[in-house]
């Protein structure tokens, strides 16, 4: 293949732009925010299920508390009725003595039930504060995720802007290089990551290997517009002032 030396030099600029595009792509895919967002989303999902458990537990304890309240109330009502009967003074002495007995036993029963009620109340408080703490934690995580997503989107927009500028430069260079040479370059690039390299101080700038004397002789003898390839890596070898020929 033959191509004017200026087209060959433009190929090196094209390679520089493609390297930059590759770096931008790498920067985009390795943004620290990606990992952080994934981390926060996992934490949010874990905290959401913790919250479901905490709320269920709180509901259970509250039901238990209602029952404990009702138990205590039952005994109080019964005692109140007994006292009314006692105050009314109806019934014989034996009846009144029976009521007196029952009141004493109800008082003991009430003590026990109130003790139990207090214990359930304490557990309800603990369950409630667990729900509140988990709600706070969830809100904080959702906030953090929003902040990190915004940072990720801003960084992504920056990179996209830069990529757009480089891509526009690339379009112009592709025209300067010409379709035949670009096609060959793209084919090599798809295979080995880069398609063209300068010949610098008798070394291929792509694979960094020093050229054999025979190859150098061949390159020296070649016409200026002949498109050369590195014998080692196959890249298009572009002659420059630093080639050392
Ligand atoms: Zn090479």
Ligand 1 centre distance from Cα of residue 237 (Å):
8
Nearest one of 26, 44, 25 to 36, comparing CA atoms = 44
Ligand 1 centre distance from Cα of residue 34 (Å):
36
How would you write the pLDDT of the chain (245 residues) with one tens digit per residue? 999 999 999 999 999 999 999 999 999 999 999 999 999 999 999 999 999 999 999 999 999 999 999 999 999 999 999 999 999 987 888 999 999 999 999 999 999 999 999 999 999 999 999 999 999 999 999 999 999 999 999 999 999 999 999 999 999 999 999 999 999 999 999 998 999 999 999 999 999 999 999 999 999 999 999 999 999 999 999 999 999 88
Q: What is the pLDDT of residue 245?
A: 83
Compute the Cα dihedral for 78, 84, 87, 92 and give only its sign. Answer: negative
Q: What is the pLDDT of residue 90?
A: 79
- Please state, in angstroms and as integers, the Cα–Cα distance from residue 144 to each residue in 40, 50, 109, 230, following that order: 8, 18, 53, 52
Ligand 1 centre distance from Cα of residue 18 (Å):
18
Compute the Cα dihedral for 237, 240, 244, 245 and give only its sign. Answer: positive
Distance (Å, rounded) from C-alpha 221 to C-alpha 210?
18
3-state secondary structure of 244: coil
Distance (Å, rounded) from C-alpha 168 to C-alpha 170?
5
Using an 8 Å Cβ cutoff, are 216 and 207 in contact? no
Q: What is the pLDDT of residue 244?
A: 86
Q: Report the half-sphere exposure of 168 (CA within 13 A, side-chain side).
A: 5
Please give all residues whose CB falls under 5 A of ion ligand 1, grouped by chain where several chains appear: 204, 206-207, 230, 232-233
The model's pLDDT over 44-93, given as tens digits with 9 standing for 90+, comes to 999 999 999 999 999 999 999 999 999 999 999 999 999 999 999 878 88
Ligand 1 centre distance from Cα of residue 208 (Å):
6
Ligand 1 centre distance from Cα of residue 236 (Å):
8
């Amino acid at each position: 293949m033959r191509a004017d030396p200026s087209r060959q030099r433009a190929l090196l600029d094209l390679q520089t732009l493609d390297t930059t595009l590759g770096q931008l792509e790498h920067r985009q895919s390795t943004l620290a925010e990606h990992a952080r967002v994934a981390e926060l989303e996992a934490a949010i999902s874990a905290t959401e299920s913790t919250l479901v458990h905490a709320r269920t537990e709180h509901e259970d304890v509250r039901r238990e508390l209602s029952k404990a309240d009702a138990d205590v109330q039952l005994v109080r009502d019964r005692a109140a009725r007994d006292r009314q009967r006692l105050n009314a003074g109806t019934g014989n002495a034996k009846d009144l003595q029976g009521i007196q007995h029952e009141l004493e036993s109800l008082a003991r029963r009430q003590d026990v039930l109130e003790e139990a009620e207090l214990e359930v109340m304490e557990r309800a408080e603990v369950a409630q504060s667990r729900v509140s703490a988990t709600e706070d934690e969830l809100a904080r995580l959702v906030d953090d995720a929003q902040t990190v997503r915004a940072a990720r989107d801003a960084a992504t927009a920056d990179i996209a802007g830069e990529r757009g500028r480089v891509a526009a430069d690339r379009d112009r260079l592709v025209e300067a290089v010409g379709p035949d040479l670009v096609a060959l370059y793209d084919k090599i690039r798809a295979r080995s990551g880069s398609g063209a390299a300068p010949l610098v101080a008798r070394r291929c700038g792509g694979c960094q290997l020093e050229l054999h004397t025979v190859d150098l002789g061949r390159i020296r003898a070649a016409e200026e517009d002949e498109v050369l390839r590195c014998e080692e890596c196959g890249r298009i070898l572009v002659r420059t002032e630093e080639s050392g020929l």
